[in-house]
Amino acid sequence: MKDEVIKVIEEIRPTIQADGGDVELIDVDEKTGVVKVQLKGACTHCPMSEVTLKEGIGRVLKEKVKGVKEVVGV
């Protein structure tokens, strides 16, 4: 599952980088389905970062990677 998560993050990374931000994978817990990521760059202080995390990154990961239940920022 971790390899699949990495692949999807690499696919969506250019979109995040286009706005001056970035995303780093911190952990994938295959038992619980929780993926931990850290937003960087412009995303760090952006008021829309929670939306990016939940409705952007989280939604795409849940759609494309079987077993992902939740994406949380650290």
pLDDT per residue as tens digits for the range 55-72 = 889 999 999 999 999 999
Instruction: Give the pLDDT confidence score for residue 1 in this predicted structure.
Output: 93
> How many Å apart are CA 71 and CA 74, to the nearest integer?
10
Instruction: Give the pLDDT confidence score for residue 22 in this predicted structure.
Output: 92
> How many Å apart are CA 13 and CA 60, to the nearest integer?
12
Residue 23 confidence (pLDDT) above 90: yes
What is the chain's mean pLDDT, rounded? 92
CATH architecture, domain defined by 2-73: 2-Layer Sandwich (3.30)
CB atoms within 10 A of CB 31: 6
Q: Where are the domains of the chain?
A: 2-73
User: Which whole number is the average pLDDT over 23-27?
Assistant: 95
Residue 50 confidence (pLDDT) above 90: no
